[in-house]
Structure 1
């Protein structure tokens, strides 16, 4: 296993430990977030549904993706280059967002964690394995957070200069899920982890194929358009 991929596994482990570290505080943080001033809660209710997989695929999120693809295609020279850029970008978004969706929905089904609305009855750490077909037992991990994690994660891999903007966007939607009482903090952290991880792993795969990404000198995937030609000696 190459060093960057091994390092990415350590990052995954560290992120998983963060999720575990949040568990003891889930109940307190959830109740505190839901008790924030009404204006704060109302604002988060307005923005929270921007994090659904349906919004990413069928709503305004798809318009953003298509606009980005068209922008990249317009900068390519020649029909062959435009065609390859277009379908590879579409495939990257599809694989990243689709993989995150599959993973998070499978985890919901297996784990069956009760949502915060059942806090008084079940507490913050109630699990009903394979009860995830019922919405109120689909708390872990957060699907909204996985969706925005994969969406903004894909863009952060393709446009690393704007990575901080994409991270803030993902965090904003994730935090909104706690404030509106749909998820516990550890649910959100796990969902973001799933989404970001699929974006990174898909980028590694594409870099191996020399699609959209290349491995830099340290072995990490970087967008091919970010590499500058070496000056002539």
Structure 2
């Protein structure tokens, strides 16, 4: 738990630093991003909805999650083990993505930052708390939070592919700026919120020895990592 508090503190600090770094340049970076060549904007418009909670829970994103779970379940030798692993993986993904969705929409409602489309009228730092309208729900980015949660969960479960998943999350996050839906600081906050949620549930699951175990430094690692190390020692 102490490790989780320290890690959460670092994520929170990183969020503040990134938001403060990007905010002075939000307007100019957003304007330049939207002014990129049409093909670039078109490509990002095509991929940006891969960061929606709806896509992850009800569409092809769910298929990807199920395929990932199936691959992990297949490695179990017993029927009970397959059921247990499948259930825990599904629960980990569901709790991570759903909790990230609740948190980001709550923050959107409480903060009420105007989106880039209202820049000429209100500027980049207009806040209207409790507005409950799409135009005033820029911070944090919901798409970035969703893809951060999904890729964060995949990264926690597959350490060797962490750079790939985190790069994918970053690409989807940047697309939100290019299509004019968010400022860079919105994206930075959203990505970190999503990754933090995945990390938090990894700590919780590790406490119950579900999917994860704590290593010598108190960090949650997938059980498969420990199994592989044991096998290497036997050989």
The normalised TM-score by structure 1 is 0.96
Q: Aligned to 1:218, what secondary structure does the other structure show?
A: coil
- CA deviation profile, 1:80-102 (whole Å, cap 9, x unmatched): 11111010000000110011000
Offset at 1:204? 0.4
Structure 2 vs 1, CA of residues 3 and 194 (structure 1 numbering), >3 Å: closer, same or farther? Answer: closer
8 Å CA contact 2:30–2:178 kept in 1: the answer is yes
Residue 75 of structure 2 aligns with which residue?
Answer: 75
Distance 1:119 1:198, change over 3 A: same
Distance 1:165 1:14 in 2: 21
Q: Deviations over 1:174-198 (max 9, x none)?
A: 0000000000000000110110000
CA RMSD of aligned residues (A): 1.2
Q: Distance in 1 between matches of 2:86 and 2:187?
A: 32
How many residue pairs get aligned? The number is 231
Give secondary structure in 1 for the equivalent of 2:36: coil
Superposed displacement of residue 22, structure 1? 1.1
Given that 1:4 and 1:218 are in contact with CA atoms closer than 8 Å, whether structure 2 keeps it comes out as no
Matches within 5 A, 1:112-191: 112-131=112-131, 133-191=132-190
Matched, 1:90 2:85: no
Aligned counterparts of 1:5 and 1:76: Cα–Cα separation in 2: 33
Question: Aligned residue for 1:109?
Answer: 109
In structure 2, distance between residues paired with 1:144 and 1:219: 31
Q: How does 1:60-71 map to 2 (within 5 A)?
A: 60-71=60-71
SS at match of 1:214: strand
Distance 1:48 1:93 in 2: 21
Distance 1:120 1:139 in 2: 15
Partner residue in 1 for 2:198: 199
State the alpha-carbon separation in 2 of the partners of residues 33 and 4 from structure 1.
36
Shift of 1:4: 5.4
TM-score relative to the length of structure 2: 0.95
Indicate the residue corresponding to 1:35 in structure 2.
Answer: 35
CA separation in 2, counterparts of 1:117 and 1:85?
Answer: 45
1:110 CA drift (Å) = 0.9
Q: Cα offset for 1:10?
A: 2.2
| Partner Cα distance (2:118, 2:4) in 1 | 42
CA contact 2:72–2:85 (8 Å) conserved in 1: yes
Q: Cα deviation per residue 1:196-221 (whole Å; 9 max; x = unaligned)?
A: 00000100000000000000111100
2: distance between equivalents of 1:114 and 1:4? Answer: 33
Distance in structure 1 (CA, Å) of the matches to 2:33 and 2:66 = 35
Rounded to whole Å, the distance in 1 between the matches of 2:36 and 2:3 is 44
